Structure 1
Amino acid sequence: MTKLLQNWREAASLILAAKVRNTAAVASCSQNDYRILMLERHGKSRFMPNTYVFPGGVIDKADFSSDWLDLFSRHGCKPTIFDPILNIKGQRPQLMTATRSSQVSNELAFRICTIRETFEESGILLTKDAANINTETATPSLSYEYKHPFSADDLENWRLRVHNNAHEFIQLCRHINHVPDVWSLLEWSNWLTPADLGPLRYNTMFYICCVDSVPDAYYDEREMSNLKWLSPMDGLSLFKQESILLAPPQSYELSRLCNYSNIKDLHEFTVNRSDKGCEFLFPVRVNAADGIISLIPGDDMYPKQPDLVGEREIIEIEQSVVENRQSTKNLNRVELLGVFNHDFHCNVSPAYGHVKPILMSNIMKNLEKCKL
């Protein structure tokens, strides 16, 4: 394992995709049969205020507590049950290889963090009844029937307790005789905040989980100001219309999700890709004449040794964003021509069997077609 760089905060986030069963209840594009949970951060937030994000938050030492291993063991879970999340063939990002003083693996702790934070922020609790677990193997299934285990009062009580003390999350699991459903969370990507965006930066693992119906969700008013279930295309359309604000990682990932119109295909893709590895995505920003180019690994302009800590000066070029793109052969970038104007250009094969983002103009064309 490698040593951990401490120039940023470690975090985890969840792309929660839920199949829509009552299409009349959710107005959106008919080409998508699933929605993504998006939460709007408070305007007073220190990081990305007023921005719609996937649920998630900062890792806590409680997520690495050995009490979790005792909980799984007490319910008869054999060590082999964690093989699907541990046996990854591809290169691992630093968050997963970092040496820590805990017996709990990084792969397990970051998933526990994701489930805990999703519960805090949305009230959705992704756990499994310990009595219904195959104690030797566990694999993600699309037939995930989410059932809320609380009354409204109990829900708010536990959310407050977990919000105030992350150690309360294991008490919650003990109380309902459940274990965190770490197997249904599959690695999607790993984003590090660009070095030029200030001292508050995050190194975040993005997971994806597919469920077969839209669960009830209630945003945490302490941290959030709104909640929406959006198809990937609708999310980008609202962003383009300046109705919601997205940061580049969220807009980029929504554009990748636009490759899948139904949740069955999305789930199949994530399962088939789950052991191939997770790419470390550290955007390197270039100031062009009329905007910003956010370079991603694979682009010809991406540095061989990117400046992770922000010691070098920001790259500046005299070309326009379009001129630079036209003069570059291999592209993997987000073009930022305004707060609400992102576009995605990728003509290279993403690492570890991942999928390319779709050009924003093509997304908008597809959206118009499906609304005719």
Structure 2
Amino acid sequence: MAGRHWREAASLIIVGQGASVNTKIQRFRTDYDLLFLKRSGKSSFLPNAFVFPGGVTAASDFSQDWLNVFKKCGYSAPDLKNEFRNPSPLPEIYANKPPHYILPEVGFRITAIRETFEECGLLLATHHLGSSLDQHELEQWRKAVHNDPSKARTHTLAFHCFSLDHPFLAMFQELGGCPAVWDLHEWIDWFTPINWKNRRFDTAFYITFIKNMPKVTSDNKEIAAVQVSSPAAILDQWHRQNLMLPPPQVYEVSRLLNFQRYEELKRFACKRGKLGLEQYFPVWIKATDGIIAVLPGDDMYPEDPDYLGEKEILQVDFTMKEMREAATHLNRLETKSLYEVCCVVNIEPKYGHASAKNFAQELLTSHTVHSRM
């Protein structure tokens, strides 16, 4: 897309098997939890919001040097392509990569793994990365990875074999092993709407599964705190205005309400992740009582979305309810405030995905049922 003014990123939904917490809605009890990170209050983008780990891509995430890392673990470039390239049309976030980059399906997974390591210290690696690596040394590598590449040369670590221009790559070159890209399954691609102007991101979301959620720590820079919660518990806290969830997190956590069991969700994600990656670019409509963000598959979604913000946002003299009742196919977020965002979905999403549930409506239904008992 010519003249684009956004950055690309990757985010990781981390699912850990564990005991379910109590929730007011019995059918939303789960035997798994999710990892959330609270962004710093000083952040210029979404301060204090609870998000999944992730961040902006770096050129080094797509370096051909990674092929040597994977080769030492027994995987060639054709092996990686056979594993990760699916028959569906490539989303723009993959298709726009230059030929000298490694496979984008691998590069974005490396971004998600690197950012997770930076932000909370969780390293998703395989093939015996540094079997003798102690926690102190791992933390030193984490600090090196967190630094800007331009500052890495002056870091005081006693590493000697490789340049620290790209410390995450250098870590695997020195210690062996490789990023556990096979454990990350494609989930969805969220593209920030045009109203965010210069703070826009096209973000590939992946999902991964961990039997036991490890103890993780915030970096006390970009991330202020760590929280592990079930889908219903985090949505309930958000609904009570105890914490802030950005709309993509609200939608994706609401999608997870379809799954009560860790193994059920894992089977679904592994199978669905090979079908394709759809981009969700919310298109705003200003109703009289709030903002409607329509998504692909909705009757109101335009055939040619305005990715560059060249058109005025559509305004209508109808309420969100009236707009909803006038449509047949619905895939939208109805927003009155940061804490009043309803997922309204009655379509079957593309590539075999699950539909997001309307948590606020489910709460209301649950309260009504209990009041009659």
State the TM-score, normalizing by the size of structure 1. 0.88
Identity across matched positions, percent: 35
For 1:196, what is the secondary structure of its paired residue?
helix
Residues 103-153 of structure 1, C-alpha deviation per residue, up to 9 Å, x if partnerless?
41111111111100000001000000258xxxxxxxxxxxxxxx9975443
Unaligned runs of 5+ in 2: 150-165
| Correspondence for 1:128 | 126
The structural deviation recorded for 1:170 is 1.5
**CA-to-aligned-CA distance 1:52-90 (integer Å, 9 cap, x gap):** 110001110110111110111123323453245433122
Deviations, residues 183-215 of structure 1 (Å, cap 9, x unaligned): 110110001100012211000000000111111
Please state if 1:162 is matched with 2:145: yes
| Residues matched between the structures, number | 350
Runs of 4+ in structure 1 displaced over 3 angstroms?
3-6, 26-30, 78-81, 147-152, 365-370
Q: Which residue of 2 aligns with 1:12?
A: 10
Hey, what does 2:56 align to over in structure 1? 58
**Paired residues of 1:233 and 1:363 also in contact (CA < 8 A):** no
User: Unmatched 5+ residue regions in structure 1?
Assistant: 132-146
Instruction: Determine helix, strand or coil for the equivalent of 2:216.
Output: coil
Q: Deviations over 1:323-357 (max 9, x none)?
A: 11112111100010111011111111101111100
SS at match of 1:255: helix
Partner of 1:140: none
Per the alignment, residue 293 of structure 1 pairs with: 292
SS at structure 2 position matched to 1:246: coil
Q: Structure 1 residues 115 and 225 mapped into 2: Cα distance closer, same or farther (>3 Å)?
A: same
2:260 and 2:212 map into 1 onto residues whose CA distance is: 16
Instruction: Give the equivalent residue in structure 2 for 1:42.
Output: 40
Distance 1:367 1:168, change over 3 A: farther
* Amino acid in structure 2 at the alignment position of 1:164: N
Letter of the aligned partner of 2:336 in structure 1? L
Amino acid at match of 1:335: E
**Which residue in 1 is equivalent to 2:136?**
153
Aligned-partner SS, 2:249 = helix
CA distance in structure 1 between the aligned counterparts of 2:227 and 2:280, rounded to whole angstroms: 26
Q: Equivalent residue of 2:141, what SS?
A: helix
- Describe the shift of the 1:84–1:220 C-alpha distance in structure 2 as closer, same or farther (beyond 3 A): farther
Q: Does 1:281 align with 2:264?
A: no
- The equivalent of 1:69 in structure 2 is 67
Matched-pair contact (CA < 8 Å) for 1:335–1:344? yes
Q: Could you say which residue in structure 2 is the equivalent of 1:350?
A: 349
Q: 1:316 to 1:183 in 2, by over 3 A?
A: same
Question: Given the superposition, is the C-alpha separation of residues 13 and 153 from structure 1 closer, same or farther in structure 2, using an over 3 Å criterion?
Answer: same
1:235 is matched by which residue type in structure 2? I
Aligned to 1:173: 172
For the residue of structure 2 that corresponds to 1:119, the secondary structure is helix
2:30 corresponding residue in structure 1:
32
Question: Structure 1 residues 148, 38: closer, same or farther in 2, change over 3 A?
Answer: farther
| C-alpha distance in 1 between matches for 2:131 and 2:247 | 32
1:4, distance to aligned residue in structure 2 (A): 7.2
- Structure 2 distance, partners of 1:105, 1:59, is 14
Tell me, yes or no, if structure 1 residue 98 matches structure 2 residue 96. yes
Q: Give the letter aligned to residue 116 of structure 2.
A: T
